[in-house]
Amino acid sequence: MICNRCSTETNIHTRSMFNEQDICMDCKDKEMKHSDYKKAQDADHQQIRQGNYNFKGIGKPTNL
């Protein structure tokens, strides 16, 4: 798989908390250190509690 964010080839990936990208673990580490990560996480959890399992995220910050 190729990371949708940094284009690195990887065998391990996860979904971004900010949008619908499949990202490598290095990009996930960077994402988790971003100041808006908690905001994205809270929004995702709120949508799940409301029954929305297809939340597209709050959008990737420009400085990520």
Which pair of structure tokens corresponds to residue 45?
Answer: 């959890």
Residue 6: per-residue pLDDT: 97
Q: What is the pLDDT of residues 18-62, one digit of tens each?
A: 999 999 999 999 999 999 999 999 999 999 999 999 999 999 999
pTM (2 decimals)? 0.89
What SS3 class is residue 4?
coil
Residue 55: per-residue pLDDT: 96
Q: What is the pLDDT of residues 6-16, one digit of tens each?
A: 999 999 999 99
Q: Find how far residue 20's CA is from the centre of its chain.
A: 7
**Every domain of the chain and the residues it spans:** 1-54
